[in-house]
A and B are shown apart, each in its own frame.
Chain A
Amino acid sequence: MSYCKQEGKDRIIFVTKEDHEAPSNAELIADDPNDPYEDQGLILPSGEINWNCPCLGGMASGPCGTQFKEAFSCFHHSSEEVKGSECVDNFRAMQECMQKYPELYPQEDENQGAASGGSDAPTEDSAPTPTSDLTPTPESAPSSDNTPPTDIQAHS
């Protein structure tokens, strides 16, 4: 069983695993997906791409940002059977640009970047270019870069 003690203004509670087994009855306010203040994921409610998503790292803001945006937009709006098949030129332009900056766009990750960048769901994958993360990832993994809010069940 848990016990607690008080040290002045500080209260300390010790709980066992069993104590915490029952679901929490703490009430949380339901999140509004259209809250204009909230940080959005990769895809905005309007369907547009959020170029400022931390998940993109520096891809949309670097020297090849314009080419990246064109290629990715084309891919995103593509309704072909093979998604993005009409965007080959854009991707080629992007690739050419990236080859000029090998430091920024390591060549072996590039293909992954082009492919994985095409997901429509907000993703927690870090950007293709690890060098562009703004925050180092210690064990504690600070999350400004990567995390749209986790789903939390609101108990009524």
Chain B
Amino acid sequence: MWTCKTTWKKLAPLARTCSTLCRQNARRTVLNSDRRLPMVTQAHMSSGTPGSGGDNNLYYLLVGATCIAGGFYAYRTIKGDQERYNERMNEIASRANKVAEQAETYLPEEPRGDEAVETPEETSPEVTAEEPEGPPVELEAEIEPSPVAESPPAETAEPQTTTVTESAADPATDEPTNVPPPAPVEFPSHAPYLLIGGGTASFAAARSIRARDPGARVLIITDEPDLPYMRPPLSKELWFSDDPGVVDTLRFKQWNGKERSIYFQPPSFYVSPQDLEKVENGGVAVLTGKKVVHMDVRGNKVTLSDNTEISYDKCLIATGGVPRNLQVIERAGEEVTKRTTLFRKVEDFKALNKVSRDTKSITIIGGGFLGSELACALGRRSADSDLEVIQMFPEKGNMGKVLPEYLSNWTTAKVRSEGVRVITEALVKGVSFKDGKVEIKLKDGRVVKTDHIVAAVGLEPSVELAKSAGLEVDSDFGGYRVNAELQARSNIWVAGDAACFYDIRLGRRRVEHHDHAVVSGRLAGENMTGANKPYWHQSMFWSDLGPDVGYEAIGIVDSSLPTVGVFAKATAKDTPKAATEKSGTGIRSESETEGTASSTATSSTPAPPPEPQQKDDYGKGVIFYLRDKVVVGIVLWNVFNRMPIARKIIKDGEEHADLNEVAKLFNIHED
């Protein structure tokens, strides 16, 4: 025992020194390996391995290298961007200079007189030779190029150049023909208000801008050859005109008896594009037959298809859309496609008008507004000729996506009574050209043979500028996505068919109706002149099924929503005959009883109508479309001049417990 204790006592100091030595050694080793960072031993040990010092070095080396490389790359990119930008600027400037200089050389009437006359002969060969390079120095010194100042003379010069080219009388003109015209013929180079698209929305905006900004200069660019016009008469009133020359005059009679043209204003209303910058009180100029292909939002300018550039302060995109086509038709080959009309423009109306006189059978594919209106129009025409008019669509009845089933059935009956052969629940599977006839094969096996097809299957909004302008396109509704004030980006607004906007009351939507184009165009014009108002005045739409029956509607009118319809009941005093005589439709009650019979057959409730059939008269009434018990849409069925009340109800957005009470506000029993 004692020996153990003494041994231990003797060993203890030894052990102690030993361990101290060891520790010191370790420390020394560690410290030696860690050359750079004077870190505390504990820190090291806590980090783990004794070799961690070496890893740290590597780590810092890697990070340092990455930072330097990144910094270097960023610097290079920025430099490159700057260079590219400068290059582009120089190129554009040189282009403008080149144009101006060429114009100057060919301008015989300049006050500089002889000089100018002689220099064309001398310098033009030079110019043609060095076209891509800079202009001759002498000319440049004379002309003092500044793009804006040059463009008016350029404008006046170019027309002379072109007319001279055409006449080819002057020897000096040989040179111009060698030089490709680089840009503006009669265009302003800058428009304070630039409206892309020459339809209803654009015109409404132009009017709004002119009203609010005195002396405003507005430039409308359209790829159509026509001045702004309204579309609804193309599928309605123009077809009912008695005037055989209507195709040329494009005039129609309104219901108040007054005649008017489809054009919003005659040509004398507009100023010519080359005068736009100079005319004293400003005006509206229309550039027809030109398409905007590129939009530079950063530089506030657009490029046309002929490479002209026009800069703007504020821009409106009102490009509308192009009619959709069925894939089966597109793939069917030229014989079919040249016998197919996609109806939208004046030229389509003229073409279809001619076709209706030259062929024996026309088939309209599509059961919406356009399809049904054209079917009625052509059906009426078929009464005087042996034209066969067929209409086919996948829904169960005309306006199947808009009107509730019972009214859709009524409408179908009405269309049939106009002489149209309506084929419902028809899905087109294939189209071909056989034995001189266009053959349409339906999914259920039926085959329809016809001479001409009109495809009215919807509108594809034109959003080609989205990419270059960096504008958002809506994936649900299509079209450019804009806010409640119709603004897409700082100086860019969108209106009309192409605008997918936020409606404060009804949510995001895109509307393809005429009145919406007017309302949104006007609103965009107001906002372009500083108003900052959101879309609030609800637009409406209407449809005429033939010239004597029509309805008006407002808001979201979607047949998939639950509806409540309130109709005026015919009393014992009203005879169907009196009602039809009053309204002018001879066959209405007949078609209505047909409609009622079919609807009771298809309805889910087995109960038969409690009263005799003539009481189920969908003659006049109001239909409310509900979303979560709030009225979001209203159709006024043969009830007119009550739109303000309907608008008010939608604006309120209230939940009404009894819609019959709301219906009372419309006084449907009165005229």
Contacts and interface: CB of A to CB of B under 8 A. Distances in A.
A33 interface: no
B640 A141 contact: yes
Contact of B662 (A6, A24, A38): A24
Contacts of A133: 260
Interface residues of B, number: 96
Contacts of B29: none
Contacts of B522: 52
A13 B269 CA distance: 50
A66 B212 CA distance: 11
Interface string B203-231: 11011111110110000000000000010
B192 to A, nearest CB: 15
Interface stretch (B91-99, B380-388, B535-543): B535-543
Contact of B562 (A9, A15, A29): A9
B278 interface: no
A138 B254 contact: yes
Nearest to B652: A29
B261 interface: yes
B656 interface: yes
Interface string B408-420: 0000000000000
Contact of B665 (A8, A10, A26, A39): A26
A63 B214 CA distance: 11
Given A65-B281, A131-B265, A7 B605 contact: yes
B211 A51 contact: yes
B211 A11 contact: no
A153 to B, nearest CB: 10
B451 interface: no
B552 A134 contact: no
B584 to A, nearest CB: 10
Contact of B255 (A5, A8, A141): A141
Given A17-B571, A27-B654, A138-B255, A103 B266 contact: yes
Interface residues of A, number: 64
Given A17-B571, A51-B212, A149-B647, A25 B539 contact: no
Contact of B540 (A23, A25, A137, A144): A144
Contact of A136 (B233, B406, B616, B667): B233
B368 interface: no
A60 interface: yes
A34 interface: no
A37 B604 contact: no
Contact of A39 (B404, B515, B537): B537
A13 B649 CA distance: 19
B551 A104 contact: no
A96 to B, nearest CB: 14
A143 interface: yes
Contacts of A16: 568-569, 571, 669
Interface in B545-574: 550-552, 561-569, 571
Identify the 7 closest CB pairs spanning chains A and B, nearest first: A61-B210, A24-B664, A14-B569, A37-B536, A51-B211, A150-B644, A9-B562
28 contacts: A5-B603, A7-B405, A12-B406, A12-B564, A13-B659, A15-B568, A17-B568, A17-B669, A19-B660, A24-B665, A26-B664, A29-B652, A31-B648, A37-B533, A39-B536, A52-B525, A52-B526, A61-B210, A62-B210, A65-B281, A101-B268, A103-B266, A131-B261, A134-B264, A137-B254, A139-B550, A140-B544, A141-B255
